[in-house]
Amino acid sequence: MCVALPGIVEKIEDNNVIVDFSGNKVRAFGGFCKLAPGDRVLVHAGCVLQVVSQSEAEELESILKDIDVIGGGTPVRDVRSFADEAAGAVL
């Protein structure tokens, strides 16, 4: 039920926006975010919840890179217990 899908803002009319989901255009409530046409947004139940900050590919790459830094470059295949690894990059 908490499924949310990414789409592109096509048009803004006050608090309502038209969001393009791969050609399927849907009206959504946009009052919770500052929006501009062309923004990639996350929509849940007809409501824009957030502007997507970067592509999923970039996101995954950045997190994986982050883990390397945390692990100090230790080859992961040699790690059989993580208990002693230092924590880092937490909020």
Q: Does residue 13 bind another protein (CB under 8 A)?
A: no
49 binds another protein (CB under 8 A): yes
Cα gap 86→72, rounded to integer Å: 9
Is residue 20 near another protein by the rule CB under 8 A? no
Cβ atoms of 32 and 6 within 8 Å: the answer is: no
Nearest to 33 by CA among 47, 13, 20, 21: 47
Does position 50 interact with another protein (CB under 8 A)? The reply is yes
Question: What number of chain residues touch another protein (CB under 8 A)?
Answer: 45
Q: Are 41 and 48 in contact (CB under 8 A)?
A: yes
In the complex, least distance from residue 84 CB atom to another protein, rounded to whole angstroms: 9
Closest CA to 50 of 34, 66, 68: 34
Residues that bind another protein (CB under 8 A): 1-4, 26, 28-29, 31-33, 42, 44-47, 49-50, 52-56, 58-60, 62-65, 67-68, 70-71, 76-77, 79-83, 85, 87, 89-91
